Amino acid sequence: MDQLMKIISLGNVFKYLFLILLAAFFFLPLIAMARFAFQTIPVVSLGLDNFLQGWTLGALWAALTDPGAIATTRLSLTLAFLTILVTFVILLPIATYVEIFAQKYKPALTAITLLPWLVPPVALVVGVAATFRPTVPWFLSNPLSLVPFYVLWTLPFSYRALDAGLRMMGARTQYEAATSMGASWMKFFLRVIIPNLKTAMLVAAVLSFALVMGEFAFASLLLKQTLPTYLVVIQGSQPRVGFALALLVMLISALFLGLLVNYLRRRGVKLNATGI
């Protein structure tokens, strides 16, 4: 018994040590970013006597009033909204149909939604650009051409959230009950599926929003000035302003995800590594 208690105690020590190391891995870079962005004293001159001196929010104010930051943030928000809208318009009817009428095709649909993450962004962009640039050059010259790429990029997360919601609500059983009462497919979809999928749609929307607001590869390869690509530019010309803006974006994204997790827990939804 004493030996077992020693093993349990040693396991607790390793668990808390791991949690401390994990917290340090995540928070120490954020603290370093905050010190660089908001403290004017160089790190070589920093000591215990002046550690609390020289802190200012001037870099953050400059970031919030920067015309380039405002324009690229507006574009990224527009891309995120359109990505979420297009994803729901395309994916929600397909996922619902497969769940109710063709469950044997669910493995194939799951595999298809994973394909965008198997193809590197460079290969995907080069292939699409080589196909569409000679025929429809206006498509790639428009910043909104990023929307199809982002829809593909968010498919694995969006589909799993919607699929989990459809399974939890028992879509097939509810469809049989609705049709037995004379409801049409469209009425069933609008009055049963969508109201019962609000939580799953919220999860898919927040995950898509976070991915689009942080996506760099597609925008950089297509030479589009979104918020992530502008962060690289401004960090080269105004490092403190760029780091202040990057820190703000990360904190806002973490806040949204934290509020989502808290909302789901209050509704009794359990989260795990594979889905809801």
Q: Which of 29, 56, 83 is the last residue of a domain?
A: 56
- 217 in any annotated domain: yes
DSSP character for 193?
I
Across the range 181-204, mean pLDDT stands at 85
Cβ within 8 Å of residue 240, ≥6 positions away: 36, 37, 59
Q: What are phi and psi of 269, to 5 degrees?
A: -90, 125
Asked if residues 151 and 94 have their Cβ atoms less than 8 Å apart, the reply is no
Answer yes or no: is 275 within a domain.
no
pLDDT value for 80: 93
Question: 3-class SS at 197?
Answer: coil
CATH number, position 207: 1.10.3720.10
pLDDT(2) > 60: no
Give the DSSP letter string of 64-123.
HT-HHHHHHHHHHHHHHHHHHHHHHHHHHHHHHHHHHH-GGGHHHHHHHHHHHHHS-HHH
Query: Which pLDDT band holds residue 69 (cuts at 50, 70, 90)?
Result: confident
Q: Of the candidates 31, 56, 81, which is a domain's last residue?
A: 56
Q: What is the mean pLDDT of residues 196-213?
A: 88
What single DSSP character describes residue 20? H
The amino acid at residue 205 is A
What's the domain count of the chain? Answer: 2
Model confidence at 275, in pLDDT bands (50, 70, 90)?
very low
Amino acid type, 240: R
Q: Is residue 37 part of a domain?
A: yes
* One domain for residues 115 and 35: no
Same domain, 130 and 179: yes
Rg of the chain taking only CA atoms, in angstroms? 24
Q: Both 52 and 184 in a single domain?
A: no
In a shared domain, residues 52 and 95: no
pTM score: 0.82
137 lies in the same domain as 260 = yes
Q: Is the dihedral of CA 39, 45, 48, 53 positive or negative?
A: negative
- Give the integer Cα–Cα distance in Å for 5 and 122: 54
- 82 and 213, same domain (yes or no): yes
Question: Based on the domain organization, do 12 and 75 belong to the same domain?
Answer: no
Q: Which of the 8 DSSP states describes residue 189?
A: I
Same domain, 89 and 29: no
Domain that holds residue 23: 1-56
| 147 and 49 both lie in a single domain | no
Domain membership flag for residue 246: yes
Same domain assignment for residues 5 and 37: yes
Same domain, 145 and 189: yes
CB of 121 within 8 A of CB of 221? yes
How many angstroms separate the CA atoms of 120 and 213, rounded?
A: 19
Q: pLDDT at position 190, please? A: 84
Query: Are the C-beta atoms of residues 57 and 34 closer than 8 Å to each other?
Result: no
Pair (172, 199) in one structural domain: yes
pLDDT for position 88: 93
Six token digits for residue 53: 């001196």
Amino acid at 39: Q
